[in-house]
Structure 1
Amino acid sequence: MGSFRRIILQNRQRSSSTKNVIGVSPEPYLDLISNPFDKRQWNYLSFGPSYIRVNQSAIRSKCQQETEIKNQHKDIYSKVENHLTGYPHLIPRNNAIFKQYSDHLLDYLNQSYFTPLSYNDQLISLEQAQILGSIRRIIQNMNLIIRVTDKGNNFYIGSAVEFEKKTQKVFSDTNAFIELSDNPFNEILYKVIQLLNTLRGKDLIRKWQYEQMMPDRTTCELAHLYYNPKTHKDGIPVRPIESTIHASTTKISKFLDKILRPIFDAKSNDTTIIDGASLITELSKYNKKGLLKSTTLFCTFDIRNLYTILPQEETLDTLMAFLHAHGYRKVKGISIDTIKKLASIILKDNVFAYGKKIYKQTTGGAMGSSLTLTLANIFMAKWQKNIVEEQTKTGEFYGR
């Protein structure tokens, strides 16, 4: 009896000591009255979206594994091939090196997928698969929604009905989207190809630039819209993001962003705040000048729905004015008038699917398109110009 009591006391002491341990896992944000998940499910969700699970494919059938290998091989190989055949490498597609790479890649994937897991890892994989399945059933049965939080590394879990109300509020508040009765995908794809062919035919863009911007007809698809909840803000509003990875204008957007963003970054370096570390650096400089005092005021502002309030034509004109002001008539051999035409088709032919409906954006640009951030920054640089000049005159600091 005495020994049994000692064991109980030891266990009690251990459990008491564990209460002092602070976990660092990003717990999910639960936007519900009560938690429908048990401890195992909640712990699994707390791993967050970046958690790397034990190889789940090992517990799938051989047929499923082979299909996954085939899909991964196709995806990786096509990306490498497109990169190496484009500028500046320009390796011919019939070069034997591609066949060698394809074979090596396939061997590597087969080895990775079919190498047996240890018994312990198999048990972990099975357990995690069961937990994940039970989480999915709860999500479906209770009509919940799970999303990655905006600017966070954790999950948001809430009512699908309430979340949809938030998304519809974005549509009504911004008034930036119109519903279309027909799917204009083929029309937009043709328009993009025709524009690039015309520019290339007039020698307004070089061959390698033409190839980098030309959409792949076999993989192109309509963009789709989704929302990430802003759990760091009151009321948990949602941020609209377009998945434009296979959209007709994506390659043009990436190309223009690649040549324009370095220009903006170089010209706005003095007022750019990248992160908390850069803010501390700027404040340190401000302090060394003897300007940081007990009476110093710190002011912050937040622009709501920036990407959906930018007037499209004015944004394009602002881009032209920005390039003119800094002495650019051409960028990478492309005239700024041609750049405007390319940027215009990105902004004005932005169509996406949401739910079972198709929409066109009439104001601003797609959040998810590479060029939109650069255009928004250039537009804001014009807007903040007077503020920056006033702050500079008085020795104060402004950053964004």
Structure 2
Amino acid sequence: MMPTSTWDPTTMTDARIFQQLLDQEAKELQEKLTNLMVESIAEAENKILECRELLHKEIYRLSIYDKDIQEGFSEKLMDLIYRRVNIMNQKFDCISNFKINYYLRHHYDDDDDDDLQQDTLSIPSVSFSPTMIMGTPLHLLTEEQLKLLNRGPTYVPLCHAYVSSSSCVSMKEIIQKQYKVLQHHLSSLFQKCQMNPARLMFINNEIKNLYTNIFSISLPNSLRQRALYEKHLVQSIREHFKTHDLLLRRTADRRNVFYLAHRPEFEEKTNEYMKTTDTFELCKNINEENLQETRDYLTKMIKSLNEAFQEMFHGKTNKNVFDKLYITIDKVELPYLYFLPDISQKDDLFVQPVVVTQHSATARLAHFLDQLLRPVVERQLASTTFVNGADFIRKLNDYIEQPQHRLRPTTQFVTIKISNFYTMVAHGTMLIALQDFLTNYLIMPTINNISMGRIIRLTALFLHNNRFYYDHKIYRFAKGSPMSFPLTETLCNCYILQWQKLLVQQPLIRDQFYGRCKNHFIFTWNGTINEFQTMIKMIANQNSDIHLDVKMGSSVRFLHAHIENQNGTLYSRVYHESTIQPYTLPYVIGHAKVVHSHWFRSALIRAVRYCTSVHDFNQERIYLEMTCLANGYTLEFIEKQIDHFFKHFDAESLRSSLDQHVYNKLRRRLFNFISEQRNILETNREAEKKHERIRLSYLYEYGPKRQFHEQLHKILSTHLNTSTASSKQHNKLKLILTTKQPHSLNALLSQQKPKHELLNKNKLLL
């Protein structure tokens, strides 16, 4: 048994470095193998295109001959036909072998593992799939345990709720527990519709009976066996982590990859972060003796907030505002801090703090303030803001197409990243910036009848009361606020406005392309190097609190795009960060297959917008297809997404011929699609306000989902039509149902939430 009671960093260093080298070599080999597969796919597709072109030429040649001339098929065409039949047969064989041997990650079939291992085509020692990052050699995980962990934090073990409950829990009890999520969403919906209690009770019972009847079914034996196998595998991994003092985390880059660390080593990094950071401030140490005192301390904070709200918004005229802000003490949950591994630097491990703020004391206040401030701040920044990468690349293309803004052969691109964007200044400085902003840019002295003075005071209450738990201590934010609140970004945008105006007003930038997305800035530059260095030095000296990372060149990377000035011609393509493990899917929460299908479509759209060359787009398409294959998605899944994409945007001919002119039309179509998407989004928002578009989610693991969706839609359409709408509105009703799967590997194994009595639900203020 490996010793785990003590940890000696001097003896660990060599072993850890050796493990990292092994892990790096394995990943490099995996990447090379997958790249070779991508090259093979590209070569095969090119060969198919050549054969198709030859076939079309032969068909055209035959079509122009006189009908009276009896001429048989040429040798070339006959050879092409025979080769095509042979290729089709080989393709079916390859697909079959591919599915059996390289189902590159998930084995959802019932094939026997021993038979697979005996197959001469299998490669058991090397995987095409992305794998977990090994930050420590101190583990004895089995091959089966590693296979499960390599599926990543998104993966949901099959039917976990069905097999994790004790034998005394009935199926009915499991279903009733799962139904509570849907019941909560239905209650919110019916409250908005203002339905009478009798009808409300009738509808609730009807939907509950539907849910219970449809999903109260036993698992087939094959699914139950697999669910039990994965349950026991998860339990064995937990025990192994506990025995060997290991810690599992998803990576900070939001990819579907785990990082395995030795807990003492990881905690050394987190403790060092807490010692050196000026973002957090210690408020209180917690021990068994002062537990009640700590509860009283937190209760007093909440009561003082409510008293401040009462003082500012007393009276009937302000009751609506007060109700929005009032904190119900027994519904508050204490936020907590945990850390994710930041692997952006290959030579060292950094940690990224994450504060979980759901149901925190300041959550309602943050939402209220953001609704007030965001529209005002965004109006001032709209002309220079990129909503996302697609918006950026469209505006850049529109800019350089204007004759007066053509790229010169010497034009450079400049990118600036504010590395401390969310923690730039102390709260006092942030409040002064907010006051200056409101004074300078508000036409009226109020926003939605809330005075500037009250907005400043509410913001101060928000900034000063973001407390959280970490390592038996209570901390608060001394700079910035939790990134989970949209208000945090709104306040940072407000603060950065004056600095940005100073930059934009520089004479050498006024006529240049300029914009920003969050903490990333880009502009074109036609001045000299000395002029640029002088300007950047002056801008940096104006505000030493802002930490700048500046890059300039004829080619730069911005918002995952490679941008290049090729002698006065813009060239762009998708850029993949070298520090991110290739062929990885994003980390998602919810129904992974549905979310990843949306991601795949969005990634294809982004590829067209980013890639100026049809060949670069084609290469990116193959990369995306291989990413899905490497993560266990079927060829049928991929083909369905690809086929829908090209049909929807009227570009099916690109599947048979990489024509740059056709591709350019597709790019213009997809740039225009940005406006279409915004219009669709606005239409959907209006429909949701009128209850013509309804979003509901529920827990789901097994059962006839489609049947449930159809019958639920029928029930809601009937009753909402009867109670609030005409038959025309009834026909408009659109129900958006999404499923939740809470038992992901991340939830089951990462242990992000600390164990402490203050963090137990409903026990914070006992």
TM beyond 0.5: yes
Tell me the secondary structure at the aligned position of residue 32 of structure 1.
Answer: coil
- State the 1:245 CA deviation: 0.9
- Are 1:325 and 2:428 counterparts? no
Please say if 1:377 is aligned against 2:493.
yes
2:411 pairs with 1:296 = yes
- Aligned residue in 2 for 1:44: 148
Q: Shift of the alpha carbon at 1:348?
A: 0.5
2:358 to 245, 249, 273: 245
1:243-322 equivalence runs, <5 A? 243-289=356-402, 290-322=405-437
Whether contact under 8 Å (1:174, 1:308) holds in the other structure is no
| Structure 1 residues 113 and 199: alpha-carbon distance in aligned structure 2, compared to 1, 3 A threshold | farther
Identity %: 24
Question: 1:244, 1:250 within 8 Å by CA — same for their partners in 2?
Answer: yes
Shift of 1:354: 0.6
* Equivalence for 1:397: 514
Go from structure 1 to structure 2 and tell me whether the alpha carbon gap of 1:122 and 1:71 turns closer, same or farther (over 3 Å shift): closer
Task: Give 1:216 shift.
Answer: 2.4
Q: Is 1:211 the counterpart of 2:323 in the alignment?
A: yes
Match of 1:343 among 459, 462, 466: 459
Could you tell me how far apart the structure 1 residues matched to 2:469 and 2:203 are?
Answer: 37
Deviation at 1:103, TM superposition (A): 3.3
- Please say if residues 271 and 399 of structure 1, whose CA atoms lie closer than 8 Å, have aligned partners that are also in contact: yes
Q: Which of 211-220 and 27-36 deviates more? A: 27-36
The residue aligned with 1:63 is 169
* 1:281-314 C-alpha deviation (Å, 9 max, x unpaired): 2332343244434433333343334333432122
CA distance in 1 between partners of 2:145 and 2:175 (Å): 29
Letter in 1 for 2:223: D
Alignment check: 8 A CA contact 1:176 1:309 kept: no
Distance 1:132 1:386 in 2: 55
1:209–1:224 distance in 2 versus 1, CA, 3 Å:
same
Q: 1:137 to 1:21 in 2, by over 3 A?
A: closer
Distance, in Å, in 2 between the alignment partners of 1:252 and 1:170 is 29
Whether contact under 8 Å (2:386, 2:516) holds in the other structure is: yes
* Aligned partner letter, 1:15: S
More contact order relative to length (CA 8 Å, sep ≥ 6): 2
Q: Deviations over 1:322-341 (max 9, x none)?
A: 23333253222222222222
Distance 1:288 1:34 in 2: 58
How is 1:156-171 mapped onto 2 (pairs within 5 angstroms)?
Answer: 156-171=259-274
Deviation, structure 1 residue 361: 2.1
The structure 2 residue matched to 1:15, chosen from 112, 122, 125, is 122
Work out which of the residue numbers 469, 472, 497 in structure 2 matches 1:356.
Answer: 472
Matches within 5 A, 1:84-163: 85=191, 89=192, 91=194, 95-100=197-202, 102-104=204-206, 106-107=208-209, 110-111=212-213, 114-154=216-256, 155-163=258-266
- CA–CA distance in 2 between the matches of 1:65 and 1:209? 44
* Alignment partner, residue 3 of structure 1: none
Contact 1:143 1:160 in 2 (8 A): yes
Matched ranges for 1:225-244 at <5 A: 225-234=337-346, 235-244=348-357
Structure 1 length-normalised TM: 0.83
Letter in 2 for 1:58: Y
Query: For 1:244 and 1:65, how far apart are their aligned partners in 2?
Result: 33
Instruction: Quote the offset at 1:67 in angstroms.
Output: 6.5
1:299 is paired with a residue of what secondary structure? strand
Deviation at 1:343, TM superposition (A): 1.5
Shift of 1:90: 8.1
- Counterpart code for 2:343: T
The CA deviation at 1:129 is 0.8
Give the whole-Å Cα distance in 2 for the aligned partners of 1:67 and 1:382: 58
Which secondary structure state, in structure 2, belongs to the residue aligned with residue 393 of structure 1?
coil
CA displacement at 1:376 relative to structure 2: 1.6
Change in 2 beyond 3 A, CA 1:192/1:124 = same
Q: 1:141 to 1:34 in 2, by over 3 A?
A: closer
Q: Give the secondary structure class of the aligned counterpart of 2:414.
A: coil
1:249-269 per-position Cα deviation (integer Å, ceiling 9, x unaligned): 111111222332233333322
1:188-224 C-alpha deviation (Å, 9 max, x unpaired): 1101211222222156x74333222222222112211
Letter in structure 1 aligned against 2:321:
Q
Residues 57 and 113 in structure 1, CA contact (< 8 A), matched pair in contact too: no
RMSD: 3.3
- State how far apart, in whole Å, the 2-side matches of 1:241 and 1:269 are: 29
- Alignment deviations for residues 11-45 of structure 1 (CA, whole Å, 9 cap, x no partner): 43x337x999943xx53332224764333222222
* Deviation readout 1:144-176 (Å, 9 max, x if unpaired): 211222232222221222222222233233223
Name structure 1 gaps, 5 residues minimum. 1-6
The 1:332–1:175 alpha-carbon spacing in structure 2 relative to 1, beyond 3 Å, is: same
- What CA distance in whole angstroms lies between the structure 1 residues aligned with 2:479 and 2:173? 42
Task: Note if contact 1:147-1:157 (Cα within 8 Å) is conserved in structure 2.
Answer: yes
In the alignment, the residues of structure 1 paired with residue 171 and residue 364 of structure 2 have an alpha-carbon distance, to the nearest angstrom, of 31
State the partner residue of 2:502: 386
Taking a change above 3 Å as real, the CA distance of residues 360 and 157 of structure 1, as seen in their structure-2 partners, is same
2:158 matched residue in structure 1 = 54
Q: Which SS does the other structure have where 2:418 is aligned?
A: coil
AA aligned to 2:331 is T
Distance, in Å, in 1 between the alignment partners of 2:376 and 2:222 is: 53
Give the direction of change, closer, same or farther, for the CA distance of 1:269–1:157 in structure 2 (3 Å limit): farther
Distance in 1 between residues matched to 2:210 and 2:300, nearest whole Å: 41
Residue segments in structure 2 that go unaligned for 5+ positions in a row = 1-114, 285-292, 518-766
C-alpha deviation, 1:73, in angstroms? 4.8
Structure index of larger Rg? 2
Give, as a single letter, the amino acid of the residue that structure 2 aligns with 1:318.
A
Aligned letter for 2:439? H
Once the 2 structures are TM-superposed, how far is the Cα of residue 57 of structure 1 from its aligned partner? Answer: 1.3
- One-letter code aligned to 1:56: H
Q: Which moved more, 1:68-77 or 1:138-147?
A: 68-77
Instruction: Indicate the SS of the match to 2:476.
Output: strand
Q: Secondary structure at the match of 2:229?
A: helix
161 and 132 in structure 1: CA distance in 2 versus 1, 3 angstrom threshold: same
With over 3 angstroms needed to count, the CA separation of the structure-2 counterparts of 1:159 and 1:104, relative to structure 1, is farther
Instruction: Report the CA distance between 1:84 and its aligned residue.
Output: 5.8
**Secondary structure in 2 aligned to 1:47?**
coil
- Please give the secondary structure, in 1, of the residue aligned with 2:155: coil
